[in-house]
């Protein structure tokens, strides 16, 4: 039987409106403030125009009742002019507001994306790609309505209500008050109902975002699902999640429908009251035209009032998106250029660790008191069990993380005192989880150095032994691979990534299990090629195969965040009772057993 979907989403049902974030958001409209102000003026004019029509109409009825026909054409002309003016105003307002809002949002999205690019690894360790994606795309889109309509509308609606009230009261204050006596009931209904409504809609949204998360995962893992014949259970889980949405939706819609029905009846009650008392006072100076005007205007007041009551809710909705966006915007990159950071000069390749300690979290120390001195051009191999801290060490060299204690120096410069760009651009890091972007193989390799010529790309591919399989493909280097690189085997992806890393012509090369899925023969070819290519470059290699390790100048054997043995193959293999020696012996025994 399928279990209910695990609720993993961080969507909170109710959150208060955050004023300072709203102000921050509005700052994006600042470059367009002239447009926004102009739009506002145009809208005020449009509002006045739209309110003018019923007024003129009621005057016309008055004139016709009295049999005064001569002035009527003026009123007709006025009404026609107002209609056309209204259309023109709308045209201008949409041009101004939509352009301003859309442009502001595009800027916000670009800022957000740029900020995400600046964040450090520790951020991406704790935030899944899916969630960040939702923020950059959907949450920014969710603000569109607020930007292009919301803010202007709220002002216009307020203005409409005020204008209507002023004119109605001026025309006949007694009748107006009678018509509005149901207003308190209505306001109560609006604000009471709306609260429940918005809670219900938020429930639906939360359920839906959870369903979307599940969907994303189910699609990504579809191959596993099919291989393990889990389709039925997954379908049931998915159906359960959808059923919750449907139920939540129907509950929410009940309130919506109820609200509209209540609005209809209460509104009509006001109209009826005006008729009743209006007709009774017809004899005492009340004109038909004024009665009609009050009724017509009364009918027009509910809509803007309703929209005003909606505004707070749409603010709350936008608030959730706003908060998620600024959550990321406020995230400071843990690793960044310090003040007065200098450019790293051409690296010659000396790498020093001075009593380096590192912890991802305060209570979990990963590296303890690491001391190292690697000479320019040396090849360093790191050996040890999974979790011993090998990857952490190389991640500190490229400053993907900052040390918790001690210092990492390259050519004597503390790497925290040079700019990140100048540091990393002289290094290439290749991780086990190789990644290909969707595009041609050529573009994928060229990612290592954007201005490389095709010849240089091919040379790099040839150097790592990737040229062979690439040129066998029908389209060769122009073969399009996808994001997950499904058309390439894992080993092939690693070769492409390796070529990319080499093309960058790095002074320091870091290979973190870079060839784990490559066959032995190819790997040996790579080794030979690397031996030539690495001449004069410092390199760090993490590998499980002894073949890769044994030729290194320095072998670091790691255990539990410490370096327990250090030396070259000859030295370590002759260390009685040494761990490296045990490792080699085990491996040989393993093969010969």
Partner 1 sequence: MNSTRRILGLLKPYRGKVLLGFLFQTVVIVTRLIQPLITRQVVNDVIIAGRHQLLVQLCLTLLGLSLTRAVSSYVRVQMMERASQNVAYDLRTGLFRHLQTMSFSFYDRNRVGEIMSRMTGDLEGVRDYLAGGIITMFEQGITFFGALVFMFTLSWQATLTILAMLPLIAWIAFRFRSRIRPAFREAREQTATLNTRVQENLAGIHVVKAFVREQYERELFEQENRKLLGVNLKITDIWRTYVPIMHGLSEICTPLVLATGSVLIATGHMDIGTLVGVTGYIWMLTQPMRMLSQIINSMTRASTSAEKIFYYLDLGPSIRDDENPQTVSERKGRVEFDRVAFSYDQQPVLQDISFVAEPGQTIAIMGATGAGKTSLVRLLSRSYDVISGRVLVDGVDVRKQRLKELRCGIGYVPQETFLFSESLFENIRFGRPDASLDAVVAAARAAQAEEFIEEMPLKYETVVGERGVGLSGGQKQRTAIARALLIDPSILVLDDATSAVDMQTEYLIQQHLERSIQGRTTFIIAHRMSSVKNADLILVLNQGRIAERGSHQELMALKGEYWQMWQDQLTSISGEGGGV
User: Site residues for partner 1, window 272-291 (CB under 8 A)?
Assistant: 272, 275-276, 279-280, 282, 288, 291
Which of the 8 DSSP states describes residue 447?
Answer: T
> Can residue 91 be called a binding residue for partner 1 (CB under 8 A)?
yes
- Contact of 206 with 11, CB cutoff 8 Å: yes
- In this complex, which beta carbon is closest to partner 1, that of residue 146 or of residue 430? 430
- In this complex, which beta carbon is closest to partner 1, that of residue 126 or of residue 339? 126
CB of 6 to partner 1, least distance (A): 6
CB of 455 to partner 1, least distance (A): 20
Bridge partners (DSSP) of residue 408 are 353
> Can residue 333 be called a binding residue for partner 1 (CB under 8 A)?
no
Residue numbers 552-571 binding partner 1 by CB under 8 A: 569
| 3-state DSSP assignment of residue 377 | coil
> Can residue 532 be called a binding residue for partner 1 (CB under 8 A)?
no
Query: Given the rule CB under 8 A, which of 103-111, 170-178, 305-313, 321-329 is the region that contacts partner 1?
Result: 103-111
- Residue of 88, 159, 196, 533 interacting with partner 1 (CB under 8 A): 88
- In this complex, which beta carbon is closest to partner 1, that of residue 409 or of residue 550? 550
Tokens of 429: 């890091």
Q: What is the DSSP string of 520-575?
A: HHHHHHHHHHHHHHTTTSEEEEE-S-HHHHTT-SEEEEEETTEEEEEE-HHHHHTS
Tokens of 442: 């050529």
CB of 590 to partner 1, least distance (A): 5
> Can residue 170 be called a binding residue for partner 1 (CB under 8 A)?
no
> Can residue 7 be called a binding residue for partner 1 (CB under 8 A)?
no
CB of 17 to partner 1, least distance (A): 26
CB of 253 to partner 1, least distance (A): 5
- Residue of 162, 224, 332, 528 interacting with partner 1 (CB under 8 A): 224
> Can residue 94 be called a binding residue for partner 1 (CB under 8 A)?
yes
- Contact of 554 with 383, CB cutoff 8 Å: no
> Can residue 162 be called a binding residue for partner 1 (CB under 8 A)?
no
CB of 356 to partner 1, least distance (A): 20
Residue numbers 296-325 binding partner 1 by CB under 8 A: none
Integer Cα distance of 322 and 302 in angstroms: 30
Residue numbers 188-217 binding partner 1 by CB under 8 A: 212-213, 215-217
- Which residues, 6 or more positions from 195, have their beta carbon under 8 angstroms from its beta carbon? none
Residue numbers 116-155 binding partner 1 by CB under 8 A: 116-118, 121, 124-125, 128-133, 136-137
- Residue of 13, 106, 181, 531 interacting with partner 1 (CB under 8 A): 106
Q: What is the DSSP string of 378-404?
A: -EEEEEE-TTSSHHHHHHHHTTSS--S
State the binding string over 360-399 for partner 1 (x if CB under 8 A, else -): ------------------------xxxx----------x-
List, in sequence order, the alpha helices (H) in 378-440. Answer: 390-397, 420-424
> Can residue 531 be called a binding residue for partner 1 (CB under 8 A)?
no
- Contact of 507 with 487, CB cutoff 8 Å: no
State the binding string over 52-71 for partner 1 (x if CB under 8 A, else -): -x---x--xx--xx---x--
Residues in the chain: 593
Q: How far from chain centre, in Å, is Cα 92? A: 32
Contacts for 115-120: CB closer than 8 Å, 24+ residues apart: 115/328, 115/329, 115/331, 116/328, 118/333, 118/336, 119/328, 119/331, 119/333, 120/333, 120/334, 120/335, 120/336, 120/400, 120/401
Please report how the helices 231-280 and 183-220 are oriented relative to each other, as an axis angle in degrees rounded to 10.
160
The single residue listed with the structure tokens 């030295």 is 571
- Residue of 31, 221, 345, 536 interacting with partner 1 (CB under 8 A): 221
> Can residue 491 be called a binding residue for partner 1 (CB under 8 A)?
yes
- Contact of 92 with 56, CB cutoff 8 Å: no
Residue numbers 458-477 binding partner 1 by CB under 8 A: 469, 473-474
CB of 195 to partner 1, least distance (A): 20
- Which residues, 6 or more positions from 406, have their beta carbon under 8 angstroms from its beta carbon? 353, 354, 355, 356, 357, 369, 370
Query: Given the rule CB under 8 A, which of 154-162, 167-175, 409-417, 522-530 is the region that contacts partner 1?
Result: 522-530
- In this complex, which beta carbon is closest to partner 1, that of residue 60 or of residue 164? 60
- In this complex, which beta carbon is closest to partner 1, that of residue 6 or of residue 174? 6
Tokens of 499: 């070529």
User: What's the longest Cα–Cα distance across the chain?
Assistant: 122
- Which residues, 6 or more positions from 233, have their beta carbon under 8 angstroms from its beta carbon? 1, 2
For the beta carbon of residue 485, count every other beta carbon within 10 angstroms.
Answer: 20
Residue 532, burial from CB neighbour count under 10 angstroms (0-12, 13-18, 19+):
exposed
Query: Given the rule CB under 8 A, which of 115-123, 151-159, 168-176, 350-358 is the region that contacts partner 1?
Result: 115-123
Q: Select from 412, 433, 410 the least CA-distant residue to 423.
A: 410
- In this complex, which beta carbon is closest to partner 1, that of residue 173 or of residue 437? 437
CB of 49 to partner 1, least distance (A): 10
The single residue listed with the structure tokens 């997950």 is 484
Residue numbers 574-593 binding partner 1 by CB under 8 A: 581, 583-588, 590-591
> Can residue 185 be called a binding residue for partner 1 (CB under 8 A)?
no
- Residue of 13, 27, 72, 177 interacting with partner 1 (CB under 8 A): 72
Backbone angles phi, psi at 505, to 5 degrees: 50, 60
């Amino acid at each position: 039987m399928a279990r209910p979907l695990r609720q993993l989403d961080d969507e909170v049902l109710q959150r208060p409106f955050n004023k300072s974030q709203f102000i921050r958001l509005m700052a994006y409209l600042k470059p367009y403030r002239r447009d926004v102000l102009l739009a506002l003026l145009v809208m005020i004019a449009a509002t006045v125009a739209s309110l003018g029509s019923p007024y003129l109409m009621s005057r016309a009825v008055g004139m016709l009742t009295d049999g005064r026909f001569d002035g009527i054409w003026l009123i007709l002309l006025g009404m026609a002019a107002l209609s056309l003016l209204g259309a023109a105003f709308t045209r201008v307002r949409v041009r101004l507001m939509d352009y301003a809002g859309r442009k502001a949002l595009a800027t916000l999205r670009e800022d957000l994306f740029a900020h995400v690019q600046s964040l450090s690894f520790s951020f991406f360790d704790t935030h899944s790609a899916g969630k960040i994606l939702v923020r950059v795309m959907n949450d920014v889109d969710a603000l569109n309505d607020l930007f292009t309509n919301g803010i202007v509308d709220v002002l216009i609606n307020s203005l409409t209500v005020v204008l209507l009230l002023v004119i109605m009261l001026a025309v006949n204050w007694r009748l107006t008050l009678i018509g509005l006596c149901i207003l308190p009931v209505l306001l109560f209904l609006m604000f009471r109902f709306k609260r429940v409504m918005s809670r219900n809609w938020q429930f639906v949204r939360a359920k839906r975002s959870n369903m979307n998360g599940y969907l994303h995962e189910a699609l990504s893992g579809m191959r596993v699902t099919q291989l393990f014949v889990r389709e039925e259970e997954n379908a049931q889980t998915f159906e359960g999640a959808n059923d919750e949405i449907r139920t939540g939706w129907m509950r929410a819609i009940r309130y919506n429908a109820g609200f509209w029905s209540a609005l209809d009846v209460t509104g009509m009650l006001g109209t009826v009251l005006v008729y009743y008392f209006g007709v009774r006072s017809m004899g005492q100076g009340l004109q038909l035209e004024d009665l009609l005007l009050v009724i017509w205007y009364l009918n027009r007041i509910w809509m803007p009032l309703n929209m005003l009551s909606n505004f707070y809710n749409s603010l709350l909705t936008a608030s959730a998106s706003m908060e998620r966006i600024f959550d990321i915007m406020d995230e400071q990159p843990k690793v960044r250029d310090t003040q007065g950071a200098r450019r790293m000069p051409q690296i010659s390749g000396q790498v020093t660790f001075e009593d380096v300690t590192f912890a991802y979290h305060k209570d979990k120390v990963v590296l303890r008191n690491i001391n190292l001195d690697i000479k320019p051009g040396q090849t360093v191999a790191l050996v040890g069990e999974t979790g011993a801290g090998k990857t952490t060490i190389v991640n500190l060299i490229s400053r993907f993380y900052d040390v918790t204690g001690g210092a990492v120096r390259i050519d004597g410069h503390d790497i925290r005192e040079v700019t990140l760009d100048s540091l990393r651009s002289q290094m290439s890091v290749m991780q086990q989880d190789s990644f290909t972007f969707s595009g041609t193989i050529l573009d994928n390799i060229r990612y290592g150095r954007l201005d490389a010529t095709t010849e240089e790309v091919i040379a790099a591919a040839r150097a790592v032994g990737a040229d062979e399989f690439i040129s066998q493909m029908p389209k060769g280097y122009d073969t399009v691979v996808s994001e997950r690189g499904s058309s390439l085997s894992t080993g092939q992806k690693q070769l492409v990534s390796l070529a990319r890393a080499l093309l960058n012509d790095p002074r320091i090369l870091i290979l973190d299990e870079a060839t784990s899925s490559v066959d032995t023969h190819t790997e040996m070819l790579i080794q030979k090629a690397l031996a030539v290519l690495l001449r004069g470059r410092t390199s760090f290699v993490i590998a499980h195969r002894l073949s890769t390790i044994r030729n290194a100048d320095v072998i670091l054997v790691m255990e539990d965040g410490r370096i327990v043995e250090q030396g070259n193959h000859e030295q370590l293999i002759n260390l009685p009772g040494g761990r490296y020696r045990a490792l080699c012996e085990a491996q040989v025994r393993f093969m010969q057993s």
